[in-house]
Amino acid sequence: MQRKNLRYLILMVASVLTVLVLQFFWLKSVYNDYKTSLKQEAALLFANTVTDMLDSLVLRKMTPVFIPGMPDTAFIRPLQIGKKTTQDTIRSFRIEIRQGENEAGTKGRVNRQIQVISSGENVPLDSLRSVVRPLMLGLDSLGEGKKFTFRLDEETLSPEEIESTFEKALIARGYEVNAKVRKYHIEEPLSQLPKNVIDLKEIRIPFGTRIQGYLYNYQVFLYKKMIVPSLFALLVVLFISWSMLAMYRNMLKQQRLNLLKNDIISNITHELKTPVATVAIVLESLENFGSQQKEALRKEYIQIAKNELKRLTQMAENILTSSLLEKEQKVSFKPIELDVLLEEKIQSFKPILDHQNFEFQYIKEGKNFSIIGDWEKLGLVIFNLLDNAVKYSKEEKNIQVKLRESGGKIILQIQDKGIGIPEAYQKEIFEKFIRVPQQDVHDVKGYGLGLAQVAEIIRLHDGKISLESKVGQGSVFTLQFQQV
């Protein structure tokens, strides 16, 4: 059976480890998803931040210039834009706005056309688009000039300014991370990024400049987001582990109960066979010997049969009493003196103790031992505990009974030097039909009902019962009642 249990245990541990591995890969996948989401959202926010700053900068640096004598319909040939180049990093532009007449025949902000003239020879197309876009969006706010000039150079948008604005935007969105921004010319190679950073897509701005950004110290932010998934994974592992442990403990308990069942069935069978066989022998003897010739022998045999039938009756009463206690049978509560009841039961055991040469000691400390309880049922409690102390004391026949007061409580202890109770059975010993397996040895009679009755009666009296026991050293049963 131990090998079978070991296989079950290994299988359960392997199952828990499998769940742990699966949870680890699931958490890793969740972490990567959070990281990917952070990269995508941060890249979009980075692009929007740079674009917004550039739009604001173009409109802010553009000033209208009025040139007298220049007709409104003047046409200036647009610049032919050639190949992309990074030459002439300082660009000067002249913006001319042509506007037509409205329906009333007057000049107004209608039918406007934008002409862009550069002082340089070659301008990258993407850079020019970045300039024209904010002009188209903010044209109506430019005022009444015929010509507008502005100047952009490589120092117009500094990395520090972009970095500061980008970090504020990240914080506003709830991203508690740090950002770094670098600036390069379009033909300048990018330097290698540090390790453990999130690279953001580079942004191109006028003219021939690239803005590179990346995130660092983002792990703490992601770990905070992982708290809820990690707690969920932990709860799943703990629940499965607890379930496996409960199943394993329940299996062991069922195995112990199976052993106890076999032991109790063996004991009850033995207990039933003995009186039945004895009565059968008595009846056979009475039939063979005759009742007239041997009157004394007849009376002796009849007394033997009565005693055996009394044993059967006692067995039935024990089982019935246990059943009634489970059904919350009413108890007759009234004031009683526990020391008087205890001494009465001790007196009834005196012949057995003297006959078996027990060393018995009774200690009483205090004067007030009044409690509210049922005389008969508390008497059954004391009887069962004393009876067990006698039955399970094999080599060292020593019993000590101690009754004392303690802080409004009355404490009763019954101690023996018997065989003791293994720790594995101490929590279950107060359940019905629970007996420590004795390997089919019937020198100690019982049905596993005595301590179950004791525990149930103590519960009905709102008392407490505890057990201290070591195998080979004996047991101590402690009862506690409320003093009146």
Domain ranges of the chain: 1-225, 330-484
pTM above 0.85, yes or no: no
Residue 360: burial class (beta carbons within 10 Å; 0-12, 13-18, 19+)? middle
**pLDDT tens, 6-24?**
888 898 899 999 999 999 9
Q: Determine what percent of the chain is predicted with pLDDT higher than 70.
A: 66
Distance between CA atoms of residues 136 and 113, nearest Å: 10
Please state whether beta strands 370-373 and 398-406 pair in parallel, antiparallel, or not at all (unpaired): unpaired
Residue 261: burial class (beta carbons within 10 Å; 0-12, 13-18, 19+)? middle
**pLDDT tens, 118-158?**
555 455 555 555 666 665 555 555 554 545 555 555 556 78
Say what the pLDDT of residue 478 is: 95
- DSSP assignments along 167-195, one per residue: HHHHHHTT---EEEEEEEETTSPPPPPPS
Strand partners, 95: 116, 148
Distance between CA atoms of residues 353 and 391, nearest Å: 11
Q: What is the mean pLDDT of the chain?
A: 77
Residues in contact with 284: Cβ distance below 8 Å, sequence separation at least 6, in sequence order = none
Q: Which DSSP helix (H) or strand (E) runs through 356?
A: none
**pLDDT tens, 290-317?**
555 667 777 777 777 777 777 677 667 6
Q: Which CATH superfamily is domain 330-484 in?
A: Histidine kinase-like ATPase, C-terminal domain (3.30.565.10)
Tokens of 332: 């007759």
**pLDDT tens, 79-118?**
333 334 434 444 455 555 555 555 555 444 444 555 555 5
